């Protein structure tokens, strides 16, 4: 029995000696993302459960990133709408000093014009914000000028009566 054990140990020793021989270090490469997938022909052609879980985690992270990006875009558009409705203030962005966006939304997440109007009045009284009386208009807007009664160069230099 002793000789059988020795014979079995000799090949193991030989393998250990072969791997322990000094030489250039083996080039190590990072594991590819599909390291969990066994090579073809090993009896398992489908990916393992770890690979499937990693795929779901990756898809979840991508979906969460998309959700966060879209939520930021919606919030920016809601703020722009509130500032558009508050454009009668001299500084519409000053409204955010007294109000949060969530306070100006209705139950469906839309900007509520009545809540914005109340917030504008609150900001005016609290911060003393001025209200712009209207938009400036060109001097002759809406007025029809008769070309025959309009002043001309000849009338400008004509003698006065």
Domain spans, the chain: 50-133
Map the chain to HEC letters: CHHHHHHHHHHHHHHHHHHHCCCCCCCCCCCCCCCCCCCCCCCCCCCCHHHHHHHHHHHHHHHHHHHHHHHHHHHHHHHHHHHHHCCCECCHHHHHHCCCHHHHECCCCCECHHHHHHHHHHHHHHHCCCECCCCCCCCCCCCCCCCCCCCCHHHHCCCCC
* High-pLDDT (> 70) share of the chain, %: 57
pTM of full prediction above 0.85 = no
Decide if pLDDT at 13 tops 50: no
Q: What is the pLDDT of residues 17-76, one digit of tens each?
A: 444 444 444 555 555 555 555 555 454 556 688 999 999 999 999 999 999 999 999 999
């Amino acid at each position: 029995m002793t000789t059988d054990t020795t014979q079995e140990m000799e090949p193991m020793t030989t393998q250990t000696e072969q791997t322990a021989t000094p030489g250039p270090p083996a080039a190590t490469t990072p594991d590819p993302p599909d390291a969990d997938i066994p090579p073809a022909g090993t009896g398992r052609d489908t990916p393992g459960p770890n690979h499937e879980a990693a795929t779901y985690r990756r898809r979840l992270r991508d979906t969460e990133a998309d959700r966060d990006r879209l939520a930021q875009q919606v919030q920016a558009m809601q703020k722009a709408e509130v500032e558009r409705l508050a454009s009668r203030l001299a500084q519409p962005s000053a409204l955010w000093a007294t109000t949060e966006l969530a306070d100006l939304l209705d139950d469906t997440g839309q900007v509520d014009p009545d809540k914005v109007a109340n917030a504008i009045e609150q900001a005016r009284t609290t911060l003393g914000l001025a209200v712009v009386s209207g938009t400036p208009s060109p001097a002759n807007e809406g007025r029809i000028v008769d070309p025959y009664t309009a002043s001309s160069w000849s009338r400008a230099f004509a003698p006065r009566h």
